[in-house]
Amino acid sequence: MKYDLVVIGAGPGGYVAAIRAGQLGLKTLVVERWKVGGVCLNVGCIPTKALLHAAHTVDSVRDAGKFGVEADVKVDLRKLNAWKERVVNRLVKGVEFLFKKNGVDLLRGEGKLLGPGKVEVKTEEGTVTVEGKNVILATGSRPRYVKGLERDGERIWDSNDAVALREVPRSLLIVGAGAVGLEFAYVYKKLGTERVVVVDIMDQVLPGTDREMAHLYARILRKEGIEIRLSTTVKEVREDGAVVLASGKGEVKEEYDRVLVAVGRVPNTEFLRGTGIEMNGRGFVRVNDRMETNLPGIFAIGDITPGPMLAHRAQKEGILAAEVAAGLNVRKNWKYVPAVVYTYPEYATVGLTEEGAREEGYDVVVGKFPLSALGRAHTMGGVEGAVKVVAEKGTGKLLGVHIVSPEASAIVSEAALALEKGLTVEEIERVIHPHPTTSEALMEAAANVLKKAVHIVN
């Protein structure tokens, strides 16, 4: 079996790389041991966003009385899960269809890199060796576990258990205040869990994001009924149902029906040991700006390389690696990777935080615009939130944008484009944004940097 390109892993990075390679005329094979679409499509990005949409719909209907809309809400988990699976299956079939249309072969089995140009695949029928002029490693990541909090699938969950939505427990403790933990906190609270508590060892939610905006976001989540305890660790989970939590105030013993561990992910790179592939101390594969490893013809993309573990980064890297494998003279030409937490309101961020900009030596100026002054926000029910713009004083060069708002996931793309093009806050403020929209908040925040915002006191 000889190919121009062999892709190990059919997650968002791998399947996109394979399709792009097929478009470029490469004879391409994808090796996948599980399901096409990987974690993102089957148990990650897509099903969690489906559940978040359902949870927000439930919350909206319950809150619709203030609009004069009265309705009783009942959640049928069986029907909700069936709809979620239909969404996933439709998209999986769509990817498989694109494989066929672009001449991409799919081999189901576990791939192992033997060296440049050689991949061993264990299938149900036996083991085969595949030759490829180029190989893209796209094996993704898995949930990180904590000693003493190992998943058992019953009382202690990981994200795969949480997205399965087998039940809505009466009480749920979530360990980790990152995107995954907060999204599931929102889902289960809105679907009926009476008590949802999120703990994190750090002193803010979403560590590494803008501190001021993270505090605003946490305050909004608390108002939604989600308990958040920071600088707190789980010391022990007992068989009798008790959980011991430790903080600066001492230890407390509480009872929870379920514990969800959401403390990050680790790269699936164990199979690369002994192959000669260079990795850093945390198990991530080292690559250059063409996604090439130290071995000729071997590329690595997505979660197994250093950087934020996000599907859209993996997809861009997959396209780049495929184009390099096809002989195109291209290299990484982006700097910014936006990130989003898909609760309601959403939290989106791209570029430098205020703290990060100061640490890099910038003389910083900040512009803010609260959603309380935004007409569109009031027509959507008067949600809380704000947009914060970080810029360089004097030049007005945009450095970062941080958004807590409905539709923040859409607004942040404009901010990412502005950052990539090196725009100033004046150039953003100058653009006419349609009214009434949530995107106006970005324009107004940029105007606030210039002391020109008209809907707030500058």
Rg of the Cα atoms in the chain: 23
Tokens (6 digits) for 323: 């184009």
E strands, 222-345, are: 226-229, 232-237, 242-247, 250-255, 258-261, 265-267, 298-300, 339-341
Concerning whether 53 is annotated as a catalytic residue, the answer is no
Q: Alpha-carbon distance 340 to 403, whole Å? A: 9
Q: Are 428 and 446 in contact (CB under 8 A)?
A: yes
CB atoms within 10 A of CB 286: 14
Angle subtended at Cα 161 by Cα 191 and Cα 11, rounded to the nearest 5 degrees: 110
Between the two ends of the chain, the Cα-to-Cα distance in Å is 67
CB atoms within 10 A of CB 197: 20
Q: What is the DSSP letter of 402?
A: E
CB atoms within 10 A of CB 56: 18
Q: Taking each helix axis from N to C terminus, what angle separates 179-191 and 211-223, rounded to the nearest 10 degrees?
A: 20
Strand bridging mode 28-32 / 2-8: parallel
Exactly one of 378, 402, 435, 455 is catalytic; name it: 435
Q: Taking each helix axis from N to C terminus, what angle separates 45-62 and 179-191, rounded to the nearest 10 degrees?
A: 40
Q: Alpha-carbon distance 217 to 209, whole Å? A: 11
Strand, coil or helix: 166 = coil
Which residues are within 8 A (CB) of 149 and not within 5 positions of it... i.e. 6 or more apart?
156, 175, 234, 237, 259, 261
String of b and e for 126-161 (b: at least 16 CB within 10 Å)?
Answer: eeeebebebbbbbbbbebeeeeebebeeeebbbbbb
Looking at the annotation, which residues are catalytic?
Answer: 435
